[in-house]
Chain A
Amino acid sequence: MTSTLPAPAATGEKAARRPRHPYLTALATARGRTGLALVGLVVLAGLLAPLLAGHPPTDQSGLTLAPVGTPGHPLGTDDLGRDLLSRLLYGIRADLGIIAAAVPLGAALGCLLALAAAAHPAADTAVQRLFDLILAFPGLILALAVTAALGPGRLPVVLVIALAEIPVFGRLLRTGILAQRGREYVTAARVGGSSGRRILTRHVLPNAADPLVVQIAVSLTVAVFLEGAMSFLGVGVRPPEPTLGAVLSQSMPHLAQAPHFAAGPLVTVTALVLGLSLVAEALNREIRR
């Protein structure tokens, strides 16, 4: 009796046919890969700051505005003789820490409020007006108001970014929920006896979440700008701790004679924002397909 063994090729074919998660497909595109590489490079630089930096970021010296390539200071020094490479790496670290805390916090709060709004019409009105109130303040005005109340530091920056993101995520999710609620599968679940809360969290929410993933990437980009703007205006993280915006602000008076002073944070912010934008765009295209 002969037995027929399954051909190895058949197993491989089956595996190849397994549907790939759309997010992975999006990130595997050239756009997604480029974005991930740029973001990964910046994140890696921030994470490895203690290993890569040859000097503490706040140590001063008499070496004012040393040029790029100075022994011991590959990116030169700032006006107070601080190592620019070290300030750049620790600045990335500080920025990433802030946006990694602030954007998920804003997203979580926004989504919670959107879910509450979906639960009851009265709550919907209250949440909508709350979003209007927050949106009435432009980001920087909000930043100045929060800093005036709390003083400078990391916490006010995190709060400002989170506050600015709450209505963005809240409105996006609310729109998604409203669109999904009219679908047949929701009606089927309701007919099947599922409670309103269960329908919302187990059926509607997973189907309305795709735009949120794209929005997170976009919001990270906005957060980089907002943190940079706050530090640039002197209402961000408390000096002498470096952030990308603070280093950029310090470089302004010296642009003419030491353009390299501003180059590091400018290139880094550009790479980070470009990378995040590419990732967001790749995800968006794949989800809309």
Chain B
Amino acid sequence: MTELHPSTPTAPSRRTTLRAAAGGTLLLGLGLTGCRSAVAEAEAPATGAAGPKRGGTLTVAVNTDFTPALLFAQSGQSLQHRLIYNTLTRYDDRLEPRPELATSWEYAPDGRALTLKLRTGVVFHDGRPFTADDVVFAVKNLQNPVRAAQLRSTAAAVTGFEKRGDHELTLRLAHPVNNLFDLFEFMIITDRNSVEDAVAGKRLNGTGPFRLASWRPGTGLSLTRNEKYWQPDRPHLDGVELRVIPQADALVSSLRTGQSQLSYAVPGRNLSTVTAVPELSVTQYDTGGGASYLGVNTSVDPLGDKTVRQALAWAVDRERVLSQVLGGYGLASATPWPKSSPAFTEAGRTHYRHDPGKARELLRSAGHTRLDLPLLHVNLPGETALAEAVQYDLKQIGVHVTLEPTDAATAQKRLISQTMPALWAMGHSFSQVQPSTLAVSAYPFNAAKNTSRFRSETYSRTVREAWTSRATGAEANALRQRVTDTLLDEAFIIDLVIRGSVQVASKKLHGATLNKFSYLNLDDAYLAA
């Protein structure tokens, strides 16, 4: 399943060789678990005889269009973010930050300030130089409730800015937080003078490797190479086309026929079709894809009783969901954490197994033998299959579910506005970065205000401790474990399967990677002859 793609053009330096060796070791380890890393792929040494080729236009097939109004939130489609913009840092596979527009950083001893040194010689697409003021604006922009950024709580922890020249900035924090680099991975640096044009989709001015040529709603984005990009001799590609193909079968056909060369939107059920195509490679990452879950509205009787919620958690056959609904691409898990997360434990993953007998017993102990509940799901084929599988499993314990197929936009709106019915089946993200980010940012898990309307002093306190602690090692693990234990015990979000990102690409394409928030990085990508 794992394949190496050549990506580095020059003869390997000592540092590159060391990185390659480290990357190779990591790949070996991940390969054993059936997964691989996007960053490792980017840093794998070039093994092709020809090396990178300059030129060509890459067509990326996406299933949803760019939504400019959600530029600073977490939309369903964020591939273009790192193509047009840059972030301050990017994570490697061990969640260690690497330089992007910030070249170095240093925490104050008390953890209440962080000093960033910024890259010089970076200009926006319109030629204006990038300075510390742009970082100040980017943080304040995410603090603005209008932007609906899910990492707003982390941005709001930044309460002061101290500039030293144009390329050094100290961020003052209201309290220590351990997910500041999640914010830097998430936060795109936009031109402060044209941000309103950006959220209207009229003008996207960033420092990224590609400039926006045109956006045709419903059709896609056209991007051309930024000749003033700060990385020398990058990007290799002349341009990128993001083509919207909502129908999964049509999207697969576009890949098979070579009309598009890259996609991260092929559903697991369709992957068996592309694995047989010799011109395409399928690569699974264990991060970035989010997780499928069953949400429970605790304000609907009798779901306020955690015994009933736990009964639901025991009733679902996660392994069957994984194999039948997701084509085997993913990891059946009762917790939200992928294997790469520091919060992942095997005990947590298998905490709830498929045990209808135990589920029925719990339901009876809560005083119920039959329940009739509605379940909302998005009316796409994969989401419908997931809902049908859950419906059948719940029926076996006496919970009769009526499915409510809903369009994706309405489902998202109801998720944010906390107006979900008793049950819903959807996907969540944010578990692939620092564990605290999930509990302070993601709509389903947010301790302050979540879709399940679950309120608990214990959960809020546990989350806050995990978020603000600067502890490392065993102490940090203990804090994360407390969050996991609370999530498992309260079962207001019942995780089913961790979905990795699955990349389907032409074998001619090399060097494409994703960051932790599924921003596509094509700095080093090229199309071989």
Contacts A79-B269, A253-B267, A256-B273 given: A152-B324 contact, CB under 8 Å? no
List A residues 52-92 near B (Cβ within 8 Å).
58-60, 62, 64, 79-81
**Which residues of B lie under 8 Å from residue A255 when comparing CB positions?**
273
CA distance A62 to B389 in the complex (A): 11
Query: Do A238 and B381 have beta carbons less than 8 Å apart?
Result: no
Q: With A and B bound together, what is the CA distance between A29 and B257 in angstroms?
A: 48
Among B320, B379, B388, contact of A152 (Cβ-Cβ < 8 Å): B379
Main secondary structure of the interface of A (DSSP, over half): loop
How many whole Å from A156's CB to the nearest CB in chain B?
A: 12
Residues in B with CB closer than 8 Å to A240 are 388, 391-392, 403
Contact B388 A80 (CB under 8 A): yes
Complex contact A151–B404 (CB within 8 A): yes
Report the minimal beta-carbon distance from A237 to chain B, rounded to whole angstroms.
Answer: 10
Query: Which residues in window 358-417 of B have CB below 8 A to A?
Result: 379-381, 384-385, 387-389, 391-392, 402-405, 407
Is A2 close to B, CB under 8 A? no
Cβ of A4 under 8 Å from chain B: no
CB distance from B355 to the nearest CB of A (A): 16
Q: Contacts A250-B381, A254-B269 hold; do A64 and B324 have CB atoms under 8 A apart?
A: yes
In the complex the two chains form, what is the Cα distance from A62 to B402 in whole Å? 22
Are B403 and A238 within 8 A (Cβ)? yes
CA distance A81 to B381 in the complex (A): 16
Q: Is A34 an interface residue (CB 8 A)?
A: no
Residue from B324, B402, B407 within 8 A of A81 (CB atoms): B324
Closest-by-CB residue of A relative to B393 is: A60
17 A/B residue pairs, CB under 8 Å, sorted by A: A60-B388, A60-B389, A62-B324, A79-B324, A79-B385, A80-B324, A80-B385, A234-B384, A235-B379, A238-B405, A239-B388, A253-B270, A253-B273, A254-B272, A256-B273, A256-B276, A257-B273
Q: How far is the CA of A62 from the CA of B273 in the complex (A)?
A: 21
Contact at A239–B387, with CB atoms within 8 Å? yes
A257-B389 CB under 8 A given contacts A81-B324, A249-B381, A252-B249: no
Query: Which residues does chain A contribute within 8 Å of B385, judged by CB atoms?
Result: 79-80, 250
Pair A58/B269 contact, Cβ less than 8 Å: no
Q: B148 interface residue, CB < 8 Å from A?
A: no
The minimal Cβ–Cβ distance linking B213 to chain A, given in whole angstroms, is 32
Within 8 A of A (CB), among B276-293: 276
- The CA-CA distance from A64 to B385 in the complex, in Å, is 13
6 new A-B contacts, CB < 8 A, other than A64-B323, A252-B248, are A80-B388, A80-B389, A239-B384, A253-B249, A253-B267, A256-B276
Q: B residues 185-200 with Cβ under 8 Å of A? A: none
User: With the chains together, A148 CA to B409 CA distance in Å?
Assistant: 12
Listed in ascending order, the chain A residues whose CB lies under 8 Å from chain B are 58-60, 62, 64, 79-81, 148, 151-152, 234-235, 238-240, 249-250, 252-257
Q: Which residues of chain B from 242 to 279 have any CB-CB distance to chain A below 8 Å in the complex? A: 248-249, 267, 269-270, 272-273, 276
Q: Quote the shortest CB–CB distance from A109 to chain B (angstroms).
A: 28
Residues on A with beta carbons closer than 8 Å to the beta carbon of B273: 253, 255-257
Residues on B with C-beta less than 8 A from A235 are 379, 405
Q: How far is the CA of A75 from the CA of B329 in the complex (A)?
A: 27
Contact of A239 with B272 in the complex, beta carbons under 8 Å: no
Q: How close is A154's CB to chain B, nearest CB, in angstroms?
A: 13
Q: Is the CB of B388 within 8 A of A253?
A: no
Q: Are A256 and B405 in contact (CB under 8 A)?
A: no
**Complex Cα distance A240/B391, Å?**
9
Which residues in window 20-76 of B have CB below 8 A to A?
none
Bound complex: CA of A58 vs CA of B387, how far in Å?
13
**Given the complex, which residues of A lie within 8 Å of B379, measured CB to CB?**
152, 234-235
* Residues of the B chain whose Cβ atoms lie less than 8 Å from the Cβ of A253: 248-249, 267, 269-270, 273, 381
A62 touches B320 (CB 8 A): yes
| Chain A residues with CB under 8 A of B380 | 234
Contacts of B404 in A (CB 8 A): 151-152
CA distance A83 to B380 in the complex (A): 22
Bound-state CA distance A60–B356 (Å) is: 15
Report the bound CA distance from A81 to B407 in whole Å: 26
> Cα distance A58–B380 when bound, in Å?
19
- B317-355 CB mask vs A (1 if < 8 Å, else 0) is 000100111000000000000000000000000000000
In the bound complex, how far is the Cα of B387 from the Cα of A151, in angstroms? 17
How far does the Cβ of A84 sit from chain B's closest Cβ, in whole Å?
Answer: 15
Q: Among the interface residues A252, A253, A255, A257, which one has the most CB atoms of the partner chain B within 10 A?
A: A253
Q: Are B403 and A256 in contact (CB under 8 A)?
A: no
Q: Smallest CB–CB gap between A253 and chain B, Å?
A: 4
Task: Name the distance in Å between A65's Cβ and chain B's nearest Cβ.
Answer: 9
When C-beta atoms are compared, the residue in chain A nearest to B387 turns out to be A239
- Residue of B whose beta carbon sits closest to that of A59: B392
Residue of A nearest to B317 (CB): A62
- Chain B residues contacting A250 (CB-CB under 8 Å) are 381, 385
Nearest-Cβ distance from residue B291 to partner chain A, whole angstroms:
20
CA distance A59 to B380 in the complex (A): 21
When each residue 289-331 of chain B gets 1 if its CB lies under 8 Å from chain A and 0 otherwise, what string results?
0000000000000000000000000000000100111000000
Please, how many angstroms separate the alpha-carbon atoms of A238 and B273 in the complex?
A: 28
Q: List the A residue with the shortest CB-CB distance to B252.
A: A253
- The distance in angstroms between the C-alpha atoms of A255 and B311, with both chains bound, is 37
Shortest distance from the beta carbon of A195 to any chain B beta carbon, whole Å = 52
Q: Given known contacts A253-B249, A253-B269, is B405 in contact with A152 (CB within 8 Å)? A: yes
In the bound assembly, the distance between CA atoms of A224 and B404 in angstroms comes to: 24
Kindly list chain B residues whose C-beta atoms are within 8 Å of the C-beta of A254: 269, 272
Q: How far is the CA of A257 from the CA of B327 in the complex (A)?
A: 13
Q: Distance in Å from the Cβ of A249 to the closest Cβ of chain B?
A: 7
B268 to A, closest residue via Cβ: A253
Q: How far is the CB of A200 from chain B (nearest CB, A)?
A: 45
Question: Within the complex, what minimum Cβ distance (angstroms) separates A3 from chain B?
Answer: 79
**Nearest Cβ on chain B to A243's Cβ, whole angstroms:** 13
Question: Which chain B residues lie closer than 8 Å to A256 at the CB level?
Answer: 272-273, 276
Complex alpha-carbon distance, A231 and B248, angstroms: 16
A80 contact set on B, CB distance < 8 A: 324-325, 385, 388-389, 392
Chain A: CB-nearest residue to B273: A256
Contacts of B387 in A (CB 8 A): 239
Give the residue name and chain of the B residue nearest to A65 (CB): B324
CB distance from A110 to the nearest CB of B (A): 30
Contact partners of B407 in chain A: CB under 8 A:
148
Chain A residues lying within 8 Å of B388, measured Cβ to Cβ, are 60, 80, 239-240
Give the CA-CA distance A64 to B272 in the complex, in Å: 14
A62 neighbours in B (Cβ, 8 Å): 320, 324
